[in-house]
């Protein structure tokens, strides 16, 4: 019979402990050694204009006046200050497909490094700008 163990550490660090499992019809308990690493993602997201994003609020990329067929680019830098690589993914919600481009819209930021992402606004026609993009940090150590 498989046994599933869920471990959710609250503090960063390496863990190693033993579980004592009493099994019916066994004289001695079974010892299971559990090892794991507790970690937090240490990241920062900033723009080339010096804006540092706060994950607790909606952040605004300011493009100023943009005319039809005009191209404006904001560089967003995702910085990984942690000891593990992590993956990121941008979700474009309610944006017309050709109006906003994000390159690359997903990828991995290695430990101690940063990744530059271009957020390109290039409208072909008038559109409603009350739309959001969302940056997700989707995974940590593998």
Rounded CA-CA distance 109/42 in Å is 11
Classified as helix, coil or strand, 16 is strand
Place of tokens 């605004």: 60
Model pLDDT for residues 73-111, shown as the tens digit of each residue: 999 999 999 888 899 999 877 776 678 889 999 999 999
**pLDDT 10s digits, 115-133:** 999 999 888 887 766 677 8
pLDDT, residue 97, reads: 67
| 55-93 per-residue burial string, b: 16 or more CB within 10 A, e: under 16 | eeeeeeeeeeeeeeeeebebebebbbebebbbebebebe
pTM, two decimals, is 0.73
pLDDT, tens digit, 9 for 90 and up, residues 129-139: 667 788 888 77
Q: What is the pLDDT, as a whole number, of residue 73?
A: 93
List, for residues 39-84, the tens digit of each pLDDT value.
777 788 988 888 888 888 888 888 888 888 899 999 999 999 988 8
Percent composition of the chain: helix, strand, coil (DSSP 3-state, to 5): 0, 45, 55
C-alpha to C-alpha distance for 97 and 82, rounded to whole angstroms:
34
Closest CA to 99 of 61, 72, 136, 77: 72
């Amino acid at each position: 019979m498989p046994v599933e163990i869920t471990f959710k550490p609250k503090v960063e660090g390496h863990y190693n402990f033993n579980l004592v499992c009493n099994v019916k019809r066994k004289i001695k308990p079974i010892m299971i050694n559990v090892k794991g690493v507790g970690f937090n993602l240490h990241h920062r997201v900033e723009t080339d204009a010096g804006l540092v994003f706060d994950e607790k609020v909606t952040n605004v990329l300011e493009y100023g006046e943009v005319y039809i067929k005009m191209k404006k680019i904001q560089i967003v830098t995702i910085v990984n200050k942690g000891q593990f690589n992590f993956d990121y993914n941008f979700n474009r919600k309610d944006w017309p497909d050709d109006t906003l481009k994000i390159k690359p819209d997903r990828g991995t930021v290695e430990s101690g490094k940063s990744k530059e992402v271009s957020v390109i606004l290039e409208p072909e026609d008038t559109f409603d700008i009350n739309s959001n993009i969302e940056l997700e940090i989707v995974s940590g150590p593998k």
